[in-house]
Every structure is written in structure tokens, then in C-alpha cells.
């Protein structure tokens, strides 16, 4: 028995050593701070981008104790930024603080911290407050960070500033005060334009469009979008958001073809982790395609993780495909709360005419001649004079080219013409042309997204360097071949 106890104790010892040797959250934050310092001194924005990306992976591990320790490390104790930021954090017991962070606080902080580190501290505290649902404190913190940013004009701060702009808008949106900061966002966009901060311009333009669309100010959003300077996209996420907002504006303006292209492109370019964004893009794209008279494929509604969210739109699509007006009304009433939350209810009201037109097309295919009274009965028109309404609907469908038929006003009939060969028309050519244009567009975007090392075309390799490189490659190939032989 004693030997078993000793064996268990020996087995537990390595596990304790591995847990103690694993780096803590505070240790990771210190590494990120050193990365920011290196990027600031070398004036390399890509290092700041990497630091922000690493921070997002630590987001769920942030605690008040870790943040207070990091503020002690990065900022001068007693300074104005330190006192302001430490006041937003809740006070925790001393035993909750990590061991690594407590020992690291004793290190002497920098007397004159870099502006990049100060802004990074603002960003960390703001993320923590939003995650803890302390929205009023987040509003105050974000306003203070924006006031500090206005006094800084450094290109290495631009990446951190773009993130702060996003959380600044989010904190006010969560408290229902989004309209208050519209003037500030416009002023910040003007400053970013003057400073040639293209990433800031992208972010602020999207925030302004979101601000306008939140209050259904589509005309103002379109005016801003058309007058804002355009340039090559720097952030894929911001470009996806811009395409989504552009698709919404085009949909309200009845420009369904352009809206469909923007929404589908936004859904395709969005990262796989952004499931909620892709679901929203697909919802709007489904409505736009239905308004165009298209029926989305079933695979659109069966994408992984989207089945439940797109279920109301699947049933709505089925009602439009059948052309059943009663079924369409019942589905619109059943899921009205969902459509209201998605802000698509007004668009669904527009679909009534498409449902009637689809039903009329099915009738014209099934019957060579049918009375207008029977057409009104099959379409389930509930107006005071259904025959007159059916006659106007049929006349408009014939004028728009939706059906190939004629009206016999004397006898009150709709007479369908024989369906011709579609391949004798220009429709196949138009379809192939749109597909080819889509493929060429995707190819051009892929070419533009390629990255090359800077000044690679200017640097010419000397003969000596070429010989050294070839010799190193030969040695490496020989070493790999020897390793392969050893494995066998």
C-alpha cells in the first residue's frame, strides 16, 4: 500500500510542474506589449496587426486582476491614464490574482510609455468592460480613448485606433445612444482622410453606414457612400461589412441585381468563424433573389450551422415557389417577429406581387384558355372585385413579359400561347455571359490579393550570393536525403 501511495505521488508531480510552467495570460500580454514596442520603434504596422490578432485569442481569459497587473507593468503608476483606467476595473481579492502577475508587478514600469502601449491599454480595458456587460463604464472609457486618439498622429497607432472606433460605436449602440456619436464619427472620418489613414477611413465609413441604417436613414447613407473616397481594401472584414451595407441600400432603392451581387459577395468573402454575419447576408440575399423572380437552391438553406436560422426563409421561399397566396400570408404572420428582428418585413410585403405572378405563370402553363373568374379563384384574391383585379394583374404580367398570353376582354378569358424553344432566344447567351463575368471577377480579385515581398523586382542577386544560396540548398537536400534513408 505504501508503494502505491508513493507511486501516485510521483505521478502527480510532473503534472503539477507542467501546469506551473505553462505561460499565464499576463505573460502573454507582456509578450504582446514587447511586440507593440518593436513595431512602434521599427514603424512596422504589421507587428501591431499581429499583436491585435493575438489579443483576440486571449479575450476570454481577461480578468480584472490580470488587467490591473498589466496596467502596473505598462503604465507609470500615478499617471493620468493609469488612474483613469484602473478606476474602471472592479476590485478583486488578492488571492484571485495569478502568481505570475503578482511577481511581475514588482518590475519597474517605463517612465514615458509609448502612445501605442497607452492606446493598447485602453483597448484591453474596453474589451473587458463590454464582455462583462458594463456598458455605461464602456461608454465612458471609449469616449476617453477617442479624446486621447485625437491628439495622436502616428501611423503605428492607426491599427489600434480602428479597433477602438469599432468598440466606441458598439458601446453606444448597446446602450441605445448611437445617434449621439454621429457627429464625432464624421469628424473622425474627416481627420482620417486628411491623415491618409485608409484603414481608419474604411472602419469609420462602415460605422457611419451602420449608424444611418440603424435609424433607416438610407438616403443619407447613400449620399455619404457615394461621396466618400474609395481605395483598395485593406481589411477583408471591413470590406465584407461595406458590401453588406451596400447590398441593403441597393435593396431599399429597388436595385435588386446590384444588391444580389453585393450580398452574395459579402457572404462568400466573410470568414468561416463569422457565422452570424453570413447568416444575415444569406437572409437578405434570399429575399433579394425572390424579389428578382429567382428561387434559391435548397443547398442555400442547408448550410452547416444555418438550418434553424434560415428555416422561416425556407418556408417563405416554398410559398413563393408554389405561388400560394394564402400560404404566403400565413407564413408571414407566423414568423413576423423573426422578420421584424431581421428588418426584412417591409421587403416581404413587396413579395406579394411576386407570389401572385408565380401562381399566374403556373396557371398559364397548365391551361391554354381559362376565364378570369377562375384565375381570381385559383390565386385566392380577396379584393372587392376579384375579376377586375385578376384582369389588371394578367395585363401587367403580359406587358412585363412574365407570361406569354393574350387577354380576351369580350369573353373574359386569358388565352396562353404555345411555349417556344428557349434555346432559340438570347436567354442562354445571357446566362453564360453572367457566369463568365463572375469567374473573371473572382480571378481578378484573387490576383489583386496576391502579396509579394517588397522591392523584390529591384534587388539583383550577385554571383557570390547565388553560389552561396545554391550551396546551402544542396547541403539541405543532402541532409534531407540522409534523414529519409535513416527512417527506412
Mean of the pLDDT values across residues 384-395? 75
Average pLDDT, the chain: 78
Helix (H) or strand (E) holding 125: helix 115-131
| Among 411, 379, 384, CA closest to 397 | 379
pLDDT number for residue 378: 74
pLDDT number for residue 420: 63
The CATH number corresponding to 367-419 among 1.20.120, 1.10.10, 1.10.1060, 2.60.40 equals 1.10.10
pLDDT number for residue 282: 92
Flag whether pLDDT at 253 surpasses 60: yes
How does pLDDT run across 44-72, given as a tens digit for each residue? 778 888 888 888 888 788 888 888 888 88
DSSP state of 335: T
The segment(s) of the chain belonging to CATH 1.10.10 are 367-419
pLDDT number for residue 400: 67
pLDDT number for residue 99: 40
pTM given for the model: 0.74
Helix (H) or strand (E) holding 405: strand 405-408
Q: Provide the residue count of the chain.
A: 488
pLDDT number for residue 238: 87
Cα 169 to chain center, whole Å?
Answer: 15
Flag whether pLDDT at 101 surpasses 80: no
Distance CA 183, CA 168 (A): 13
Amino acid at each position: 500500500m505504501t508503494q502505491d501511495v508513493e507511486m501516485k505521488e510521483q505521478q502527480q508531480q510532473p503534472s503539477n510542474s507542467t501546469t506551473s510552467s505553462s505561460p499565464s495570460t499576463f505573460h502573454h500580454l507582456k509578450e504582446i506589449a514587447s511586440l507593440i514596442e518593436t513595431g512602434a520603434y521599427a514603424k512596422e504596422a504589421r507587428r501591431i496587426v499581429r499583436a491585435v490578432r493575438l489579443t483576440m485569442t486571449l479575450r476570454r481569459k481577461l480578468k480584472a486582476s490580470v488587467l490591473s497587473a498589466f496596467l502596473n507593468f505598462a503604465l507609470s503608476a500615478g499617471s493620468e491614464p493609469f488612474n483613469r483606467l484602473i478606476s474602471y476595473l472592479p476590485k478583486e481579492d488578492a488571492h484571485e490574482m495569478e502568481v505570475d502577475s503578482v511577481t511581475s508587478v514588482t518590475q519597474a514600469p517605463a517612465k514615458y510609455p509609448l502612445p501605442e502601449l497607452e492606446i493598447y491599454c485602453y483597448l484591453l480595458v474596453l474589451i473587458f468592460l463590454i464582455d462583462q456587460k458594463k456598458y455605461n463604464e464602456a461608454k465612458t472609457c471609449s469616449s476617453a480613448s477617442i479624446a486621447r486618439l485625437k491628439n495622436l498622429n502616428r501611423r503605428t497607432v492607426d491599427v489600434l485606433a480602428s479597433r477602438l472606433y469599432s468598440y466606441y460605436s458598439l458601446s453606444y449602440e448597446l446602450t441605445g445612444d448611437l445617434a449621439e456619436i454621429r457627429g464625432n464619427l464624421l469628424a473622425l472620418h474627416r481627420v482620417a482622410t486628411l491623415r491618409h489613414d485608409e484603414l481608419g477611413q474604411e472602419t469609420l465609413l462602415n460605422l457611419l453606414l451602420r449608424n444611418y441604417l440603424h435609424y433607416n436613414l438610407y438616403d443619407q447613407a447613400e449620399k455619404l457612400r457615394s461621396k466618400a473616397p474609395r481605395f483598395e481594401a485593406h481589411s477583408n472584414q471591413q470590406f465584407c461589412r461595406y458590401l453588406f451595407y451596400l447590398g441593403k441600400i441597393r435593396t431599399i432603392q429597388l436595385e435588386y441585381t446590384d444588391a444580389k451581387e453585393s450580398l452574395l459577395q459579402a457572404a462568400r468573402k466573410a470568414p468561416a468563424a463569422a457565422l452570424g454575419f453570413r447568416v444575415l447576408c444569406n437572409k437578405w440575399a434570399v429575399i433579394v433573389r425572390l424579389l428578382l423572380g429567382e428561387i434559391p437552391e435548397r443547398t442555400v438553406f442547408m448550410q452547416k450551422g444555418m438550418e434553424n436560422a434560415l428555416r422561416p426563409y425556407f418556408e417563405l421561399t416554398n410559398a413563393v415557389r408554389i405561388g400560394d397566396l394564402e400560404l404566403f400570408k400565413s407564413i408571414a404572420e407566423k414568423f413576423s417577429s423573426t422578420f421584424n428582428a431581421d428588418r426584412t418585413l417591409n421587403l416581404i410585403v413587396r413579395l406579394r406581387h411576386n407570389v401572385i405572378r408565380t401562381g399566374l405563370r403556373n396557371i398559364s402553363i397548365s391551361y391554354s384558355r381559362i376565364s378570369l373568374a377562375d384565375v381570381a379563384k385559383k390565386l385566392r384574391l380577396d379584393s372587392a372585385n376579384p375579376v377586375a383585379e385578376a384582369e389588371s394583374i394578367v395585363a401587367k404580367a403580359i406587358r412585363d413579359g412574365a407570361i406569354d398570353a393574350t387577354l380576351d376582354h369580350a369573353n373574359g378569358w386569358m388565352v396562353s400561347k404555345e411555349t417556344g424553344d428557349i434555346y432559340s432566344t438570347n436567354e442562354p447567351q445571357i446566362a453564360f455571359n453572367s457566369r463568365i463575368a463572375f469567374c473573371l471577377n473572382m480571378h481578378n480579385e484573387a490576383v489583386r490579393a496576391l502579396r509579394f515581398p517588397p522591392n523584390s523586382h529591384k534587388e539583383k542577386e550577385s554571383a557570390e550570393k547565388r553560389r552561396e544560396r545554391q550551396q546551402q540548398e544542396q547541403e539541405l537536400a543532402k541532409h534531407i536525403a540522409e534523414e529519409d534513408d535513416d527512417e527506412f
